[in-house]
Amino acid sequence: MTDVELKDTNAVSYGTVESSLVRRRKGEPKSVWDDDSSDSEDEANDRDSRRLRLVFRWSDLFLILGYCALAAVALWLSLSRMLPQAEKLRLAFHNTSIAASPSELLLVEAPVILTPNAYCRDIAKNVLGMGGNAVDAAIALSLCSVAASPQSWSLGGGIIILYYNRTSKQANVIDALTAAPKALSTERFHQMQLRGLRDAESVGVPGTPKGLELASKKFGKLPWVRVVEPVSDLCSEGFNVSDALARVLKAQEKSIERRPSLRDLFLVNETGKLLQEGDVFRRPVLAATLKRLAQYGAADFYSGLLSKNILTDIRSKGSILNTDDMGSYEAIAEGAIKVPAGVTSSLLTSPRPSGGPALAMAASLLQGLSPLMRTPDLGLQYHLLVEVFKQSLSHRMDTSLAYSDSQLYNITKTMSGEEVRPSVPGTDDAAFRDAGIPDSVAVLDPSGDAVVVFSDMHGLFGSQVYSNTTDVIFNAALKEFAVTTAAGSSGTSNEVQYIPGTRAPTTMAPAIVVEDSGDVRQFLTVCGSGNQTLTAAMQVILQKLHVMGYKLATLKLNTTVTGALRDVLSGKFWVNMDHRIVF
């Protein structure tokens, strides 16, 4: 047989293969080639198949229908119980009975410049256009705020700068907070407290000039002079008074009237009245001060001609600052605190004595308590939230935390909340004193670098002590230390004991939320009264990062909350955080 014939035969056989059992059923005789063992297997399979068909064919149809009916009843009962519960959860997590925050969720393109003053925004934008980075723009923005918002910004105050580098994914903090005078002993300070601190006696060593200059040297791109000069020119030319400044001037009118030098700064010469919204505000003396800073650097403010003029002015009003206090002051560069915040993001903030540790602790506590926060009981939700506030604020100034770079790991570990989480909810009460009116600005440049700068004068216009020769308003930092009574007892763990030369505590908490990918997700740039800035930021963390759904922007507390804590928590919070960044 040829190959072709073999192929044809094979082709036919592929289509005509039949088992011997099938052929026998057709009446064909058994072949000698048939395998009896395979026939027995085929017969067994055939019987099994017919048996299976018989079982399926004669199974009880009514039994199946009964099972279906029972399943339908069970489903109906489950849905009837689950749907109302689901509705409660929906109302709890998407509660619309509390007014939403007035801040809109915006889709913006980098660069992002956060400031209430349009002319300051233009200056920062021009600095970026000259080749500057986020740090350069933030320095210009801060100096412009010194000119335009003297109620909360001044060269005589203190600042904290949080800088995040997108390329390295590293965050750094510059601490330029005000410091206590070295020559003022603890005993003398307590004596002054007992009789009441006078305005000039509350002035601490300012840190703003040194902090801005250090930021420029370590992280900026443009020369210092190119960043400072545009603000000096603005002070010479003048700018329109903002609504915020006008409202503060009106509210503080009686206090300003009692201080002739400060009153002269804000008077309109033609009318003899305080500046109002829209009036042109010129500050030629501050322009001259900024020109010297641009030319000679911050050293002139601390040990040069500016320092000499400053000390002459404020010592004549009763300040105890001296040349050693000014000349020995240094800003501090250190690492930032980083804690998880949300599923795929982290919170970056500043270490103590700022409000950063309290904010970091709250973020960790909220993350750990998130299963409990999903209860449909709104009362319990609020209770847990208030307890987080209490725990975070009361541990903010824990004296067991060292204030140095080498202890940052321990700070982060302590702020993780593991030690205090079992006591939440708890019953601890602490005294929460109002700590002034911090303010902030923020910049995110096209490369993804972000900077947040917080300023604190420790009160509106600080101590209201004014240097006429330099146009600098000074802080009231010494009022932030723990109050010592005649009996010798002092404040709670929330407060810092006075030590000569130490940094004054503050509630300022600059914060940046970054994704695991390294992209900036959100800023925390709050402005409000004292500890309310922290509780507002904590609520934003809960709303935005843990996606709870309900709005707490107008949280009102009932009588079960102590009076001191009520002042911290109640009120409306205006949070400039809701920005999505597009590159």
Binding site feature residues for L-glutamate: 480, 506-507, 530
Cα–Cα distance measured from residue 208 to residue 153, given in angstroms and rounded to the nearest whole number: 9
Binding site feature residues: 480, 506-507, 530
- Give the H or E element holding residue 56: helix 36-58
Question: 38 — phi, psi (to 5°)?
Answer: -70, -30
Cα–Cα distance measured from residue 466 to residue 179, given in angstroms and rounded to the nearest whole number: 18
* Residues 407, 401 contacting (CB under 8 angstroms): yes
DSSP H helical ranges for 374-495: 378-394, 408-415
Q: Is 342 helix (H, G, I), strand (E, B) or coil?
A: coil
DSSP H helical ranges for 94-130: 118-129
Beta strands in 210-368 (DSSP E): 239-240, 267-268, 273-274, 280-281, 332-335, 337-340, 345-349
Query: Which residues 6+ apart lie within 8 Å of 481 measured at CB?
Result: 180, 189, 495, 496, 497, 498, 504, 505
Cα–Cα distance measured from residue 509 to residue 161, given in angstroms and rounded to the nearest whole number: 10
Cα–Cα distance measured from residue 291 to residue 566, given in angstroms and rounded to the nearest whole number: 46
Q: Is 425 helix (H, G, I), strand (E, B) or coil?
A: coil
Query: Which residues 6+ apart lie within 8 Å of 53 measured at CB?
Result: none
